[in-house]
Structure 1
Amino acid sequence: MVTQHEGALHQIVIVGGGAGGLELAVRLGKRLGKKRKARIILVDASRTHLWKPLLHQVAAGTLDSHADEREYFALARSKHFEFRLGRMQGLSRDKKEIYLAPTFDEEGNELLPQQAIHYDQLVIALGSQTNDFGTKGAKENCIMLDSLPAAEKFHQKLVNCCLRAQTVEQQAGDGRFTVTIIGGGATGVELAAELHMTTKILSSYGLVNFHPEKDLKIVIVDASPRLLQMLPERLSDSVAKELRSIAIEIHTNERVVEVSKEGVAMASGKFIPSGLVVWAAGIKAPDFLRDLDGLETNRLNQLVVHQNLQSTRDPAIFALGDCCACPQGEGLANVPPRAQSAHQQAACLADSLCRAIDGKSLKDFHYKDHGSLVSLGNYSTVGSLMGAIASGSVFIEGTLAKWMYWSLHKHHQVAVNGWFHTWLSTWAETIDRVRNPRIKLH
């Protein structure tokens, strides 16, 4: 085992390079790493970062992931932190060490040995993964849309399906190939709209025998009474109306009991024959957190933290983002697992860790709900803006909502890359839209 512990400089280790973890590393690199007040180490199992809310666009092919990915090694060099490639597999609180599993290349050869990394303070920001609730056949027959490889796998299957339909003689019937999306939350809804838009574009690229409405049926299934159950009812109704207008089939109040190679079975007795099934219903933190050296977790494997994001059983360990259960106050639910939560927590924890270096007390985290936006591709964007805009909420849709949804991504890019690099990359994206096909075809 390789142990990495150099010098006496205070060492802050961040595990997980998602939105919250990467933003925290950049902030601490600027405030502590650059000034040599602390050594900042970011650990991730992947070599590149992609903003997770974009995964549905990668799956549909409307976004080329390579155009938006950022290399951790390059970011670390320019933002004054260090990057370690590896997947966390264990923790010793007594030794103040985390353990990374060996890393292997594409041919199965060991690339990096097992590693031990010392920490003075540890931040766990591992995000979340899809929760199939133990549903029979879900793991074997569904694509869990929670990682870049899964999104790319789905896209390849979708393109293959459309190419296959191109060569098959037209038959009677509604929907020769059905894509069923289990989950009517933001991911499921946005994916459905992007898929419809993708197939329409594909049919215009020379697939003359492929008809989007006749050859592909898109279905959303959700156990809740309506789509987007966690969001205001008016927003949910607007989204459902838009989806039905583009022939997307919606089944609410339907609990999935089994997923097989043939399709999706529901508790009501309904069965939807399906060629491709995506599970986008529910999340949980990674399973290994449940038994991580005695740290307190809840039923979703989330690390339980105080309001200052410090774990309840170890003052040297913190958590942020989807993998932490952070209270909002007595009698209130925990902070919701959203990108805006991770962004706010990263900013708060950066301040706290800098204060701790100077011998000051930690800050409590106070979540501010700025509202929700749901993009339906080129068809529409709808949303609600909360708090600062008005007492209660303001509902928006159309061009203004589209612009605000786009600005959320840019806000993350600014936090990671800075204003100048974001300005340059935005111009590059604009040029690419003219130069490249509207969707990825491979």
Structure 2
Amino acid sequence: MQIITPGIRLVPEAVLANNAALFRTIPETPSHADSSLHRVVIVGGGAGGLELATRLGRKFGKRRLSVTLVDRNRIHVWKPLLHEVASGALSASNDAVEYIAHASRHHYRYRIGEVVGIDRTRRQVFVAPSFDDDGRQIIPPRVLGYDTLVLAVGSVSNDFSTPGAARHAIALDTADQAARFNKRMIDACLRANAQYEQLSPGQLHCVIVGAGATGVELAAELHKSMREIASHNLDNIDFERLIRITIVEAGPRILPALPEHLARASARLLVDLGVQIRCGTKVTEVTEDGVRLGEKLFVPAELVVWSAGIKAPDFLKKLDGLETDRINRLVVDETLQTKGDENVFAIGDCASCVLPNEDNPLPPRAQTAHQQADHLVKVIAARLKGRAAPTFHYRDYGSLVSLADYGSFGNLIGGLRIEGLLARLMYRSLYKLHCKAVHGTLKTALDTIAGMLARHTKPRVKLH
């Protein structure tokens, strides 16, 4: 029997069950022609994993290390911008990094596939086979050997087993999911404009479950994008009156992980835009027609986005005995080394790192993954010299929220508050810093100029 994930791949149940006996019959795939090189395998090509692979490849990839990046996707899109892909403000095809080409330019190897287990005794990683949309195998199951293993698989949305959430709501964990929501949003606008009968309850309404940064920023982007779409000759419907966006948050306020003044300023702006905010309200069910709040209230909606809570991927819970926390994150020490294995490290959202004199794990932010990737370069350099791994030190550079073109707010080091154009420029600079780490200064500058020119020749939002 096979488990089917529509439009992506077919994976045998035996593989998903982490059948170590099956993989022990498969010969190990050589990582490099020079078997004397120290083998670094990085699982996950998100912000932290891709930056780490790039830095190691540039620094050591030609002579001292064999660097391999494993990811089930073929492209990378910076996760903090997925809400812009969903709204159509950003095209994933234009801003994505193609792993195959990038690996060739930066002296590391890319292997497509989904990691389903490891053998810590043999120091091996098990990679499931890859299939095309028709179920034909592209790449067989493989076994990759490592000397240093870095797990950087990020996080996924946590629907807390809410009935109907997995089936009827769309998460924004991947570029594919964001693009699927974008298409559904455009189709909703086209359908409403073309139909003769009156709009049904909930039509052109969107409910966003979760008021973290993703949910709040998505609400503003959707307010802008849906009206932009409507301006392209979709004049049979009063979109200004009929488009409705609702944010539902179980906690007492939006942006619970950020300073309160950022939450207040963002809430005021969203309310002025007509976005409805429901805090202190729990979603009890998601249906085809909307969401149920508590026991009595039902909010009809054609589009539902789930952005409430995160967890690390489930396969980490059974990763050959490595310790995890309640949301599947790998427990690491102050060097980012997993508990009980000096050869396995974890960074980013999938790592639960509580530093000395701190009570809580580091926040799941892009700046955390960026700093941890920088630190792992130092750790691996120390391992090559036979030295002890250095201790990781985290520095919080503040928080920024950008609500489309309507406003931006920030809280920087020392409590400095900024807003308006300065805050927006700093928000965009975070992405440019990521691009610089991945592509280098010259390509980042050229891509920025090309993007500025393209704004004058292309629609402001993606329309297909």
TM tier relative to shorter chain: over 0.9
Task: Output the CA distance in 2 between the equivalents of 1:202 and 1:173.
Answer: 20
- The corresponding residue for 1:290 is 317
Q: How many corresponding residue pairs?
A: 436
1:132–1:172 distance in 2 versus 1, CA, 3 Å:
closer
Matched, 1:313 2:340: yes
- 1:432 offset after TM fit, Å? 1.2
Q: Name 2:169's counterpart in structure 1.
A: 142
2-structure distance, mates of 1:291, 1:272: 38
**22-31 or 403-412: bigger deviation:** 22-31
SS in 2 for 1:122: strand
Q: What's the TM-score, normalizing by structure 1? A: 0.96
Secondary structure, counterpart of 1:434 in structure 2: coil
Choose from 401, 416, 438 the match for 1:394. 416
* C-alpha RMSD of the superposition: 1.4
Runs of 4+ in 1 over 6 A off after TM superposition: 172-175
Does residue 193 (structure 1) correspond to residue 220 (structure 2)? The answer is yes
Matched, 1:23 2:51: yes
Consecutive unaligned residues in structure 1, runs of 5 or more: none
Deviation at 1:261, TM superposition (A): 1.4
Instruction: Give the 5 Å matches for 1:29-48.
Output: 29-34=57-62, 36-48=63-75
- CA distance, structure 2, for counterparts of residue 355 and residue 155 of structure 1: 45
Question: Distance between the aligned counterparts of 1:425 and 1:63, measured in 2?
Answer: 14
Aligned to 2:402: 375
1 CA distance for matches of 2:248 and 2:168? 16
**2:86 equivalent to 1:59:** yes
Give 1:145 shift.
1.1
1:369-395: CA deviations, max 9, x gaps? 111111110111111112xxx3xx111
CA distance in 1, matches of 2:112, 2:256: 38
Q: Does 1:436 align with 2:436?
A: no
Q: Cα gap change, 1:174/1:256 in structure 2, threshold over 3 Å: closer, same or farther?
A: closer
Q: 1: distance between equivalents of 2:202 and 2:120?
A: 55
> Could you tell me the percent identity over the aligned residues?
45
Between the aligned partners of 2:383 and 2:405, the Cα distance in structure 1 is: 47
Residue matched to 1:113: 140
Contact 1:42 1:83 in 2 (8 A): yes
Cα drift, residue 8 of structure 1: 2.4
Aligned mates of 2:236, 2:76 — CA distance in 1: 38
Task: Give the drift of 1:359.
Answer: 1.4
Three-state SS of the structure 1 residue aligned to 2:456 is: helix
**Does structure 1 residue 157 correspond to structure 2 residue 184?**
yes
Return the alpha-carbon distance in structure 2 between the equivalents of residues 151 and 8 of structure 1.
Answer: 42
Choose which of 253, 260, 270 in structure 1 pairs with 2:287. Answer: 260
Distance 1:413 1:299 in 2: 33
* Aligned: 1:3 with 2:28: yes
* 8 Å CA contact 1:176, 1:214 repeated in 2: no
Contact in 2 for aligned 1:2/1:113 (Cα 8 Å): no
Contiguous gaps of at least 5 residues in structure 2:
1-25
Change (3 A) 1:144 1:173: closer
Cα deviation, residue 213, structure 1: 2.7
Indicate conservation of the 8 Å contact 2:283/2:293, yes or no: yes
Q: Corresponding residue for 2:210?
A: 183
Residue 175 of structure 1 and its aligned partner are, at CA, apart by: 6.2
TM-score by length of 2: 0.92
